[in-house]
Amino acid sequence: MRLEEIETLMLNVGLVVFAGAIFFIIYDLAKKSNAGRFGTFVLFFALGLGLAAFLIKTVIVELMEGGGI
């Protein structure tokens, strides 16, 4: 395995761990603030939208560079 392949793999693993940590933080925030069902949905939607935009940007950049996924 070449160094570039290892770096790409570790970047993808790191992004998955990062996304999981963000969702746990949003869940913990909703739980500690007693947000209720609708409030939790709003928190996940609003804060998760920023994470989704970051991940979508990463995919689009990879596709534009011709590297594929």
Residue 1 predicted with pLDDT over 70: yes
**Cβ–Cβ < 8 Å for 39, 30:** yes
Residue 2 predicted with pLDDT over 70: yes
Domain spans in the chain, listed from the N-terminal domain onward: 3-64
CA distance 11 to 1: 15
pTM above 0.75, yes or no: no
Higher pLDDT, 54 or 43: 43
pLDDT one-digit tens code per residue, 6-48:
998 898 899 889 889 988 999 999 999 998 999 999 999 998 8
H/E stretch holding 63 reads: helix 36-64
Q: 1-27 burial, b for 16+ CB within 10 Å, e for fewer?
A: eeeeeeeeeeeeeeeeeeeeeeeeebe
